[in-house]
Amino acid sequence: MTQALEGIRVIDFTHDQAGPSCTQMLAWLGADVIKIENPKGGDRARRLWNSDNPELDSFFFLLLNSNKRSTVIDLKSADGKEIARRLIKEADVVAENLGPGVMDRLGLGWDAVKELNPRAVFASVKGFGSYGPYSGFKCFEPVAQATSGAMSVTGEAGGTPLVNGANIGDSGTGMHLAMAILAALVQRGRTGKGQLVEVAMQEAVLNLTRVKFTGTLATGEPLRRSGNRSPTGGYSDLIRCAPSKPEGGGVDDYIYIIVPPDNPEMFHAAMDVIGRPELKEDERFKTPAARAKNAAALTEVLESWTLSRNKHDVMKAFAGRGMVCGAVLDTAEVLQDPHLRERGTIVDLDHPTRGRFSTIISPLRLSDSPVTPRRAPLFGEHTEEVLRSLAGYTAEDVAALRRKGVVTQG
């Protein structure tokens, strides 16, 4: 069975997370993604968060670069630039998330790419975009959250702003870029021409945050942080549960429950589950407004039942009655979650240096394009293979380039 993007070739100049998360999605969908790395250690993600063994590729890198091929080229050398140009001529997509102006200084920016290959889609992640007052500024995940409004609505009521734990600035931008690339490829099918596609991290996070602007548009006032409580008038909160692990209580022994204002039957179901049907008519909880006003009291009622049961049993009991809820799973629990394992979202892969480890693969499900997960490449693992098959170099050419330090074979 073929994959959706089979036959699409991506020359990938990305690093860290925002760009690699995009090209990884394309690779999962079947594209041939050729990751270009520098000779001085390659993608810095190979060493990020690598506390257990600094000599090995980090799990951070492995989680973001599966299903790709690695080619190591010194792009600062004339020979390296020539290799890059040859590869670009064979590309459907050229992706980059280097600092502002870096690709242009290398002679590999959009203007150069469209000359070399008018059919290529040039895909770029920038912190604040390629124009505008902030365009020369660098951006990391928390900065994108701060400047988009996301951080201002995250945190406890009256407390300080908080960074969202999910990487909406990096991986969120990567997913937006993947959509833009796919749209450009569809348009190329009609016009025969590639184009420049760009996603700014600030704007991607703004897009993910946009519903939080509802109240501001109505009143002109900024939305304030509300912690785990609903800002929409319904009831929601973190509910404490009994310890779920034999060694005792943990920091994540909670379930999150939502009772939307327009679904009163969920409140009725909750009262039935905990054996307190008489509270359906309690004036403190009878209406959505009353439940929102008396949220602390309702949480106390729920916890009188949940504190004697673990979060997994509580989730099954409430969700089984049609309520919207979820146990707070820590990262170790997620990797062993039976639901994600059965769906093939969490799988185990073998790695030459890391051994067998658990990893996360594509959440996209295409009936005719199943994902076959492959481990992330070793540093320079595919250099000779790529240069010989795509760039027209002989084995002797590659050997000479290696002696000159232009390329590296893992």
Q: For 99-122, what is the mean pLDDT? A: 96
Q: Rounded CA gap, 49 and 284, in Å?
A: 48
Per residue in 320-345, pLDDT (tens digit) is 999 999 999 999 999 999 999 999 99
Does residue 230 surpass a pLDDT of 80? no
SS3 content of the chain, % helix, strand, coil (to 5): 40, 15, 45
Of 147, 34, 157, 46, the closest CA to residue 91 belongs to 34
Per residue in 50-106, pLDDT (tens digit) is 888 989 999 999 999 999 999 999 999 999 999 999 999 999 999 999 998 999 999
Per residue in 17-30, pLDDT (tens digit) is 999 999 999 999 99
Q: For 179-192, what is the mean pLDDT? A: 98
Percent of the chain whose pLDDT exceeds 70: 99
Strand segments, DSSP code E, in 261-370 are 324-327, 346-351, 355-360
Q: Rounded CA gap, 297 and 365, in Å?
A: 42
Per-residue pLDDT at 244: 87
Mean pLDDT of the chain: 95
Of 82, 46, 80, 49, the closest CA to residue 65 belongs to 46
Per-residue pLDDT at 89: 98
Under DSSP, the state recorded for 310 is: B
Question: Among the options 43, 74, 92, 170, which is catalytic?
Answer: 170
Residue 170 annotated as catalytic: yes
pLDDT-derived band at 356 (thresholds 50, 70, 90) equals very high
Of 184, 143, 133, 130, the closest CA to residue 22 belongs to 184
- Give yes or no for a contact between 376 and 349, defined as CB atoms under 8 angstroms apart: no
Per-residue pLDDT at 234: 81
Per-residue pLDDT at 173: 98
Which residues on adjacent β-strands are paired with residue 289? none
Per-residue pLDDT at 1: 66
H or E element that contains 35? strand 32-37
Torsion-angle region of 394 (φ positive above 0: left; ψ -120 to 50: alpha; else: beta): beta
CA-to-CA separations, 16 to 13, 105, 342, in angstroms, rounded: 11, 20, 30
Under DSSP, the state recorded for 369 is: S
pLDDT-derived band at 355 (thresholds 50, 70, 90) equals very high
Per residue in 292-317, pLDDT (tens digit) is 999 999 999 999 999 999 999 999 99
CA-to-CA separations, 125 to 39, 85, 157, in angstroms, rounded: 23, 20, 33
**CA–CA–CA angle 4, 17, 88 (5° rounding):** 55
Per-residue pLDDT at 129: 96
Per-residue pLDDT at 2: 87
Say which residues have a Cβ less than 8 Å from residue 262's Cβ, sequence separation at least 6.
234, 288
Q: For 146-169, what is the mean pLDDT? A: 96
Q: For 231-258, what is the mean pLDDT? A: 87
